Amino acid sequence: MIILLPFRLRLNGWGTIIFSCFVCVGQVVFALGGIFNAFWLMEFGRFVFGIGGESLAVAQNTYAVSWFKGKELNLVFGLQLSMARIGSTVNMNLMGWLYSKVEASLGSAGHTTLGVTLIIGGITCILSLVCALALAYLDQRAERILHKEQGKTGEVIKLTDVKDFSFPLWLIFIICVGYYVAVFPFIGLGKVFFTEKFGFSSQAASAINSIVYVISAPMSPIFGLLVDKTGKNIIWVLCAVVTALASHMMLAFTLWNPWIAMCLLGLSYSLLACALWPMVAFVVPEHQLGTAYGFMQSIQNLGLAVISIIAGMILDTWGYLFLEVFFIACVSFSLLSVLLLYLVNRAQGGNLNYSARQREEIKLSHAE
């Protein structure tokens, strides 16, 4: 959850550096908990890490809009997702190997080996901090050159901005939550699902379960470039949600090879991030961007936390078929929200569904 919303905290510059420091400190505390076999310390480390990590995601989105709005914004969001998924894939495949190497070096397995492995993995957090420092310098340099004002660039979080959010923005929030709660909790429970329903081995089930992230790494920038070149963000979001719905229906009601459904889900996941998140920049004033993205991240995480608990209860009580029906209901709710957003946006002028040419013409007319 994002806890910075009640405070007037500048996201870019010092805010990003502070959040990166939280990530570094949280990872170190988490690793120390492993070394000293203190589970409570590991929990505290993850709490600190989460404060910084989730807030960094908001700062990252604000940076992207501040620098690329009106240009390659969809591509930039695609690249962000791509890099995140590359990191996830590398982590899943490298940490086990790294643990075995540390175990061989120390001569024993256990909590000490785990802690040392986590310390080594935390080097990436230091790299993140270095990037935050570089971005802060570049952003402040741009402010001086372009004479930007902090209060007008969306870099300040103000909870009072929430009361001014438009109806289309709330629909975007609903689409976001309804879609992602049918992806991340499913992946979290998917390995056993593929083992039980389709009879796959543990290794094969893990491979199928991770294909969503594997596909999103190369496809997100491609879809981002496609959306940049064509525009029509709502149509692309509609395609992504419909594809996700088809994927879950295939998994629930057929015995088709699950590789097909999961590949479709991977394509859908890649497309939605490129088309949905940039739309926020088109429906809120620039000075409210930080608050909007922060609230979107918060409500998404709240939805994931609640739905993950509900999904576990459904699975324990009724099994995977009812769980898939539940996920289908979530995606269907997201689909209805997309259709409503299309109608509302059309009644208000249709800016969210402009083609790339229309947006370029409007940009040129404003420049004149």
Predicted confidence band of residue 202 (pLDDT cuts 50, 70, 90)? confident
- Look over the chain and give the mean of its residue pLDDT values, rounded to a whole number: 87
Whether residue 160 is predicted with pLDDT greater than 50 in this model: the reply is yes
Q: Find the domain containing 231 and state its range.
A: 14-367
Looking at the predicted structure, is the pLDDT value of residue 1 above 50?
A: no
CB atoms within 10 A of CB 269: 27
CB atoms closer than 10 angstroms to residue 61:
26
The 3-class secondary structure across 61-81, one letter per residue, is HHHHHHHHCCCCHHHHHHHHH
Residue 149's pLDDT is what?
Answer: 58
What is d(CA 79, CA 150) in angstroms, rounded to the nearest whole number? 26
Which comes out higher in pLDDT, residue 366 or 294? 294
pLDDT exceeds 90 at position 25: yes
**The pLDDT of residue 65 is above 50:** yes
Between 5-19, 180-194, 273-287, 348-362, the lowest mean confidence (pLDDT) is in: 5-19
* Per-residue pLDDT at 6: 43
Specify the pLDDT at position 285. 86
Q: How far apart are CA 192 and CA 182, in angstroms?
A: 16
Nearest in space to 269 (alpha carbons), one of 207, 305, 219, 339:
219
Note whether residue 6 is domain-resident.
no
* Statement: residue 155 has pLDDT above 90: no
Within a domain: 7 = no
CA gap 271, 296 in Å, rounded:
18
Tokens at residue 288, please? 């409210």
- What is the model's pLDDT at position 368? 59
Nearest C-alpha neighbor of 182 from the set 297, 33, 304: 304
Residue 12 near residue 155, CB atoms below 8 Å:
yes
| pTM of the entire predicted model | 0.84
Please count the structural domains in the chain. Answer: 1
Q: Residue 178, class by beta-carbon neighbours within 10 Å (0-12 exposed, 13-18 middle, 19+ buried)?
A: buried
Assigned domain for 242 exists: yes
Across the range 219-225, mean pLDDT stands at 93
Q: Identify the CA nearest to 319 among candidates 204, 192, 180.
A: 192
- Say which amino acid occupies 211: I
Residue 117 lies in a domain: yes
DSSP 232: -
Six token digits for residue 275:
């088309």
User: Is residue 4 in a domain?
Assistant: no
Nearest residue to 34 via CA among 121, 98, 126, 116: 116
pLDDT at 7 (0 to 100): 43
- Determine the angle formed by the axes of helices 289-318 and 39-68, rounding to 10 degrees: 130
The answer as to whether 59 is a domain residue is yes
Q: Which helix (H) or strand (E) holds 176?
A: helix 167-180
Return the pLDDT at 92: 72
**pLDDT of 146 strictly over 80:** no
Alpha helix segments (H runs only) across 232-288: 233-253, 258-276, 280-283
Listed in sequence order, the residues at least 6 apart from 266 whose beta carbon sits closer than 8 Å to its beta carbon are: 211, 212, 213, 214, 215, 216, 219
Q: What's residue 8's pLDDT?
A: 44
Closest CA to 66 of 177, 171, 151: 151
The first and second tokens of residue 117, run together, are 């492995």
The domain that holds 155 is classified in CATH as 1.20.1250.20
Residue 79: how many CB atoms within 10 A of its CB? 17
And the tokens for 72?
Answer: 């390659």
Query: Is 1 contained in some domain?
Result: no
Greater model confidence, 175 or 159: 175
pLDDT of res. 10: 55
28 pLDDT more than 80 = yes
Residue 10's φ and ψ, nearest 5 degrees, are -75, 125
Q: Cα–Cα distance between 331 and 264 in angstroms, integer?
A: 14
The model's pLDDT over 71-103, given as tens digits with 9 standing for 90+, comes to 778 888 888 888 888 887 788 778 888 999 999
- Per the DSSP assignment, residues forming a β-bridge with 156 are 10
Cα–Cα dist 301/308, whole Å: 10
Q: What's the rounded Cα separation, in Å, for the pair 352 and 64?
A: 18
Percent of the chain with pLDDT over 70: 91
| pLDDT per position as a tens digit, 233-275 | 999 999 999 999 999 999 999 999 999 999 999 999 999 999 9
pLDDT at position 156 over 70? no
Examine residue 204 and state whether it is found in any structural domain, yes or no: yes
Range name among 89-93, 115-119, 207-211 with the lowest pLDDT average: 89-93
d(C-alpha 301, C-alpha 316), whole Å: 23
Average pLDDT over residues 172-182: 97
Res 9 pLDDT > 60 = no
